[in-house]
């Protein structure tokens, strides 16, 4: 609702709809009623609109979308129209986050005040829509088309000070917002409101709009990668040079197009799933859930191994204000890590944050930390040795976490006397940038340990997802079938750039081969050597070249590594790189290697369509997701989707692999395609449809309806 009160001649409308004061129907109704009442009351000479509690309205109520409630009268447009045309000055007083419809409300007002900590913006593009309550028409009238395109297509929030310099906010107020707003409102009473209406202004430099749009188009299309909202936002902004009513009509038309697209619900699903993963639970052990399991307090963290991951994790922990003891066996590496950390931390806070960091080469220095995160080489023998030492030196309550990419957490826990305090905390590289934290419980991990790992994720600003223990956990396990199928495509006739292009056109920031070159092709190679699938010199003795343990195997990635082509770091991998450049250039050497391999093994080169590439790479990945759900390794399909959205660059406008499978491809079609491909390639095990998928197609039912422990 919006609470109505008067302070002398000022009517104050305070939106009260926790947690973020979104414009649910009852709020819209109360605002329209309040404005009418203020208009009617001769004693009222000005109006202040603000939010109660933590924020100015943060936009439309996204939960209402698609339900009809969003358009129930009065809709948001009517509320804003009432504000714009009000005869008495309307002042929006902003604190917290004025976002989407909330920011549009402020733009429809005649004056805007903000506290210094306020932030504002139009993030609708992230929900697959556009600011459809006049945002695409009013903002360009204030800041110009170029800045409006930048703000609306990025969805970025700007701070009050920047809003002031852009002319969006009239004044920044210190102290009590209500008092300041009322006093400001009084000061403008009696002044004409006509020239304060943004809707009546014209767009600055309107004659250059087409030029500006043309210049922005290429970048936006490249960044959007298949998402339709960003370019549709631009089309709406382009219409701001028209008279206001005509621009609004165009905005409405484009909004209707986006609202009815398949991408808008996918992005809204992604928004809520990101938040839903906080309500985690173990699929079988009822004690392990977000409601009842209590975390231990974590003030200090030990990080073991100061390599790529240990360094990134340490930066992340320091940025969150935690104390860190970083231990490394290699002194040179330790010094290098300290330098990199110093450089990465922002200048302003570097020295204060660095004072929280202690370096160590002796394990006894980890004695007092609350949790240790191990990030040494991916080698089970080494991890066990490290955990034995940690168990011996740390206080009994200390939680021991491993950042392994996929080794068995139970096997690691078994070497300690505290398996209940052992957990997997799988970060993603670069660990200080990537938002995902995949937390893994073992057979004996206690509710308190799980809760502590999940809470640590919150403390350091991660999106934490809880999963079970299996080789590769959720993310890397699913990725295994994707990368396997990508190299099988090379055998059949595709080139690395064909596969990458198709996957990037689907929406990933990078295809599998460019990604491999970036992370280092030797990561996977070392893993395969550790598993005995290959050796540094080729297949293990008496092993058929194209099979390992009865499964089809493509040795091309091993051959690449044996040539010393380890990716960007060696200037050559699947592609070649000019010195100092990260641009992947097709390399005739690699293409020849693939061609020779095809000849040697009797593969006949054929042309492979982008559609087949996408299906062959992504369908087995999704299929693995069904296995994972069936086994209870992920409790819900949304957990898998969030892992892929935040850890693997899966395009957000498709909602994530499981959402995409169900809502976009359709389960029946997915099953049918997998059956066709598995008939064609009977020895590609990952193409065999999962029993859960078959069952769902046969019996009906939705992924969302799969409870945490239910099976169809
Ligand atoms: C003819 C009709 C034409 C109609 C045209 C309408 C056109 C429009 O212009 C449409 C819009 O406004 S779309 C909405 C634009 N606003 C946004 O996207 C802001 C979304 N929220 C945020 O960014 C953060 O929650 C925020 C920064 C605000 C706060 O972050 P926090 O980290 O502090 O809190 P969260 O954990 O994110 O959120 C707390 C709880 O609130 C729920 N929520 C947030 N924003 C919501 C929203 N706008 N609608 C509904 N629920 C919302 C959120 O899900 C979370 O819930 P729980 O998980 O249950 O706690
Ligand atoms: N690099 C990546 O993209 C990701 C790696 N991981 C996992 O993180 C772990 C570490 O990987 P990276 O940082 O890439 O490796 P890295 O090779 O960059 O660093 C490992 C560090 O551990 C140190 N170390 C070795 N033995 C030690 C011991 N006994 N005590 C203390 N330090 C010791 C090494 O000197 C080295 O500096 C591995 O388990 C890996 O699978 C997880 C996610 C992503």
CB-ligand 1 contact for 96 (6 Å cutoff): no
Question: What pLDDT does residue 558 have?
Answer: 97
Residue at which a domain ends, from 259, 290, 310? 259
| Alpha helices (H) in 429-472, listed in sequence order | 447-459
Per-residue pLDDT reduced to its tens digit, 116-152? 999 999 999 999 999 999 999 999 999 999 999 999 9
In a domain, 239, yes or no: yes
Among the listed residues 501, 490, 510, the one whose alpha carbon sits nearest the alpha carbon of residue 567: 510
Instruction: Write the CATH number for 513.
Output: 1.10.1040.10
Instruction: Write the CATH number for 15.
Output: 3.90.226.10
In a domain, 696, yes or no: no
Total domains, the chain: 3
CB-ligand 2 contact for 403 (6 Å cutoff): yes
Backbone angles phi, psi at 357, to 5 degrees: -100, 130
Domain hosting 408: range is 300-470
In a domain, 9, yes or no: yes
Is the domain of 505 the same as that of 466?
Answer: no
In the predicted structure, residue 710 carries a pLDDT above the cut 90:
no
Is the domain of 210 the same as that of 305?
Answer: no
Is the domain of 455 the same as that of 581?
Answer: no
Per-residue pLDDT reduced to its tens digit, 413-450? 999 999 999 999 999 999 999 999 999 999 999 999 99
Per-residue pLDDT reduced to its tens digit, 504-549? 999 999 999 999 999 999 989 998 998 899 999 999 998 999 999 9
In the predicted structure, residue 347 carries a pLDDT above the cut 80:
no
User: Annotated catalytic, 124?
Assistant: yes
Residue 259 to residue 595: CA distance in whole angstroms: 47
Residue at which a domain ends, from 204, 229, 259? 259
What are the CA-CA distances from residue 245 to residues 74, 168, 340 (Å)? 19, 21, 54
Residue at which a domain ends, from 601, 634, 666? 601
Q: Are 150 and 53 in contact (CB under 8 A)?
A: no
In a domain, 671, yes or no: no
In a domain, 675, yes or no: no
CB-ligand 1 contact for 24 (6 Å cutoff): no
Per-residue pLDDT reduced to its tens digit, 393-405? 999 999 999 999 9
Is the domain of 224 the same as that of 176?
Answer: yes
Residue 368 to residue 345: CA distance in whole angstroms: 25
Residue nearest to atom 28 of ligand 1 (CA): 58
**Which ligand gives the minimal distance to the CA of 252?**
1
Query: What secondary structure, in 3-state letters, does 31-59 show?
Result: HHHHHHHHHHCCCCCEEEEEECCCCCCCC
Catalytic residue among 36, 104, 328, 675: 104
Question: What pLDDT does residue 707 have?
Answer: 62
**pLDDT tier for residue 712 given thresholds of 50, 70 and 90:** very low
**pLDDT tier for residue 348 given thresholds of 50, 70 and 90:** confident
In the predicted structure, residue 638 carries a pLDDT above the cut 90:
yes
**Which ligand gives the minimal distance to the CA of 360?**
2
Q: What percent of the chain has pLDDT over 70?
A: 99
User: Annotated catalytic, 104?
Assistant: yes
Among the listed residues 1, 2, 8, 36, the one whose alpha carbon sits nearest the alpha carbon of residue 181: 8
Is the domain of 553 the same as that of 521?
Answer: yes
Is the domain of 458 the same as that of 515?
Answer: no
CB-ligand 1 contact for 270 (6 Å cutoff): no
Pocket test for ligand 2, best of 302, 304, 308, 476 (most atoms within 8 A of CB): 308
Residue 219 to residue 470: CA distance in whole angstroms: 41
In a domain, 98, yes or no: yes
In the predicted structure, residue 255 carries a pLDDT above the cut 90:
yes
Encode burial over 304-319: b for 16+ CB neighbours within 10 A, e otherwise: bbbebbbbbbbbbbbb
Is the domain of 502 the same as that of 460?
Answer: no
Pocket test for ligand 2, best of 314, 333, 376, 433 (most atoms within 8 A of CB): 376
Q: Are 459 and 407 in contact (CB under 8 A)?
A: no
Is the domain of 130 the same as that of 238?
Answer: yes
Is the domain of 503 the same as that of 462?
Answer: no
Instruction: Write the CATH number for 430.
Output: 3.40.50.720
Is the domain of 458 the same as that of 498?
Answer: no
Question: What pLDDT does residue 118 have?
Answer: 98
Per-residue pLDDT reduced to its tens digit, 287-310? 999 999 999 999 999 999 999 999
In a domain, 281, yes or no: no
Per-residue pLDDT reduced to its tens digit, 570-585? 999 999 999 999 999 9
Is the domain of 106 the same as that of 162?
Answer: yes
Is the domain of 169 the same as that of 318?
Answer: no
Question: What pLDDT does residue 709 have?
Answer: 38
In a domain, 482, yes or no: no
């Amino acid at each position: 609702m919006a609470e109505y009160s008067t302070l002398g001649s000022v009517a104050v409308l305070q939106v009260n709809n926790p947690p973020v004061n979104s414009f649910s129907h009852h709020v819209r109704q109360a605002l329209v009623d309040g404005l009418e009442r203020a208009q009617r009351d001769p004693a009222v000479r000005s109006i202040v609109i603000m939010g109660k509690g933590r924020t100015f309205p943060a936009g439309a109520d996204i939960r209402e979308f698609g339900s009809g409630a969003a358009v129930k009268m009065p809709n948001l447009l009517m509320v804003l129209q009432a504000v714009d045309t009000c005869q008495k000055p309307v002042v929006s007083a902003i604190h917290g986050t004025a976002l989407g419809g909330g920011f549009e409300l402020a733009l429809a007002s005649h004056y805007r005040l903000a506290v210094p900590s306020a932030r504002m913006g139009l993030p609708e593009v992230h929900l697959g829509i556009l600011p459809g309550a006049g945002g695409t028409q009013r903002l360009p009238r204030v800041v110009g088309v170029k800045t409006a395109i930048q703000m609306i297509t990025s969805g970025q929030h700007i701070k009050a000070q920047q809003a002031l310099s852009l002319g969006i906010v009239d004044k920044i107020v210190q102290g009590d917002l209500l008092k300041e707003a009322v006093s400001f409102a009084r000061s403008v009473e009696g002044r004409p409101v006509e020239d304060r209406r943004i809707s009546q202004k014209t767009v600055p430099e309107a004659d250059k709009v087409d030029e500006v749009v043309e210049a922005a188009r290429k970048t936006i299309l490249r960044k959007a990668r298949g998402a339709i909202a960003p370019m549709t936002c631009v089309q709406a902004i382009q219409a701001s040079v028209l008279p206001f009513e005509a621009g609004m009509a165009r905005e409405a038309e484009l909004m209707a197009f986006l609202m009815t697209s398949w991408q808008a619900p996918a992005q809204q699903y992604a928004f809520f799933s990101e938040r839903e993963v906080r309500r985690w639970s173990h699929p079988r052990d009822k004690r392990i859930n977000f409601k009842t399991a209590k975390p231990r307090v974590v003030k200090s963290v030990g990080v073991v191994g100061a390599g790529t991951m240990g360094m990134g994790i340490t930066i992340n922990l320091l940025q969150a204000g935690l104390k860190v003891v970083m231990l490394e066996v290699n002194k040179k590496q330790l010094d290098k890590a300290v330098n990199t950390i110093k450089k990465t931390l922002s200048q302003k806070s570097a020295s204060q944050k660095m004072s929280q960091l202690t370096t160590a080469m002796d394990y006894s220095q980890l004695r007092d930390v609350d949790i240790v995160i191990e990030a040494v080489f991916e080698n089970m023998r080494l991890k066990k040795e490290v955990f034995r030492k940690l168990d011996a030196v740390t206080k009994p309550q200390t939680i021991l976490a491993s950042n392994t990419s996929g080794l068995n957490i139970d096997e690691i826990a078994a070497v300690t006397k505290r398996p209940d305090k052992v957990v997997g905390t799988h970060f993603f590289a670069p660990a200080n940038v990537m938002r995902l934290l995949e937390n893994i419980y073992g057979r004996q991990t206690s509710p308190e340990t799980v809760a502590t790992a999940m809470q640590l994720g919150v403390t350091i600003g991660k999106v934490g997802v809880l999963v079970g223990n299996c080789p590769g956990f959720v993310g890397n396990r699913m990725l295994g079938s994707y990368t396997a199928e990508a190299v099988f495509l090379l055998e059949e006739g595709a080139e690395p750039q064909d596969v990458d292009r198709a996957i990037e056109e689907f929406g990933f920031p990078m295809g599998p081969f460019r990604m491999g070159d970036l992370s280092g092709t030797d990561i996977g190679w070392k893993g395969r050597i550790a598993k005995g699938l290959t050796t540094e010199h080729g297949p293990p003795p008496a092993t058929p070249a194209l099979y390992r343990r009865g499964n089809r195997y493509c040795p091309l990635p091993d051959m690449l590594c044996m040539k010393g082509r380890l990716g960007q770091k060696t200037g050559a991998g699947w592609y070649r790189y000019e010195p100092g450049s990260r641009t992947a250039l097709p390399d005739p050497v690699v293409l020849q290697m693939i061609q020779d391999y095809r000849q040697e093994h009797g593969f006949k080169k054929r042309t492979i369509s982008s559609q087949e590439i996408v299906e062959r790479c992504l369908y087995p990945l999704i299929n693995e997701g069904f296995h994972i759900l069936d086994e209870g390794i992920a409790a819900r399909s949304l957990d898998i989707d969030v892992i892929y959205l935040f850890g693997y660059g899966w395009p957000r406008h498709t909602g994530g692999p499981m959402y995409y499978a169900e809502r976009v491809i359709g389960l029946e079609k997915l099953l049918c395609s997998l059956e066709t491909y598995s008939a064609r390639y009977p020895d590609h095990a990952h193409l065999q449809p999962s029993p859960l998928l078959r069952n769902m197609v046969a019996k009906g039912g939705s992924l969302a309806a799969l409870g945490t422990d239910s099976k169809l």
